[in-house]
Structure 1
Amino acid sequence: MPMIDLDGRVAVVTGGSSGIGLATVELLLEAGASVALCGRDETRLREAEAGLRARFPGAKLYAARCDVLDPGQVRAFAAASEAALGPAQMLVNNAGQGRVSTFADTEDEAWAEELRLKFFSVIHPTRAFLPQLERTRDAAVVCVNSLLALQPEPHMVATSAARAGVHNLVRSLATEFAPKGIRVNGILLGLVESGQWRRRFEARPDEDRHLDWAAWTARLAGQKHIQLGRLGLPVEAARAILFLASPLSSYTTGSHIDISGGHSRHA
């Protein structure tokens, strides 16, 4: 049973065809919201859409291929979403994966690519949907970010720096949008089960082949000093997103929720 009734509200989720984005779409639909989602991979998007329509046959759902780094595509997605479902009241900016690299092996092109991805995956959708958010009540923007924003890792130097910038951007947008009645918040992810971790598991060395997924991730959690002893689940991140996107958090803006299972070491 959903924790809140979002019937009559419209939510938009970028990167909504897999992982945390898809889990967020599912929770929003369970709560009765109309949902527009987008993704870059057409095949994966249509598979996700088919699964959602089978599970929620009466739901109001719109799915479109869109590269959030292309402002024209994002503007077109915003217009089509509004035409299909009405003006958005909730926008979830779900950024992409991290880049593993140190300062020594990160070239200028890689820096530019990572900074562009992390910033403009927030900037383009927020800019495109802002006119809709301004026309609705209890509007909210949620940005999916990483604990790297406050707890950088040297082997992810470019991603850590970009994540810190997005953390600051959330605070700036919250201040600017508050007079418009729009709340802006974020979540800070630790290690969450994903396709990226599954691929690392499949590529594990021969000496680790005796470990199944549960044992391998439990060992990883121990190595990373995650107090809860496991990786997070996409739905656990999605629950925090639902809270921040909905009126459940009506007096919260410029804030971040830590979803790291105790991995956080920052003050």
Structure 2
Amino acid sequence: MSFKKNISFVLIEPKKGGNVGASARALHNMGFKNLVLVNSNLHLDEEAKTFAMKGAYILQNAKSFDTLEEAIAESSLVVGLTRRRGKKRGLFYEFEEGIQKIRERASKNKVSVIFGRENSGLSNKETERCHFLITIPTGNTSSSINLSQSVLIMAYELSRYEMIKTRGEKIKSVTVKELDYLLNEVKNTLIYLNYGKRGDRDLLHSILRTMKGFFTRKGLTKAEMNMFLGIFKELRKKGGDS
């Protein structure tokens, strides 16, 4: 199951239906589906439906709760977005670190990402309900970001995990023949370094078996294979083996 299904975007008392609708559209664009509202029914607003475009189904399936406590009851991690810092605001993580923690937890657990009101953000009481807080980096001219823009940025940053993974899947892995060639180079290098039997132990065979398992589990790419080939050949070259 995609980690995206475990992440809920929670809007506390939004003031404008347009922002709610634009948030739904942003979630649709980035592959998320869970929109939650606290003390608001603006997901039913006509303006919200207009702004949602193809994300209208997210509004239809949105959940509304009277309190934040009810909205986050089933989440194992609650993260708040705020630009205001202070001793009473709670634990802060740098933006990238916070994004990574959300991804990791959402792989198997439910996570709530909390967004405050357009005019006043999150209260101190609400930040106390969060496990940690993050701030979206901005320029020096203004640190305040529109609600729907904040939702879009968070959805995009969280989606980059799958984008990177998809690009990684296009990288060519080594074939069985190429892996055998690499292991043979490893064997030649180990023999040159006098790795053989140690008493009753066939150390050479044991190392080769372990390295084959490691390379197979990792899914070795051709670029990585060439790097290892260069290292092993250089080791023999330094020792005088041509």
| TM > 0.5 fold call | no
- TM-score normalized with structure 1 length: 0.35
- TM-score normalized with structure 2 length: 0.37
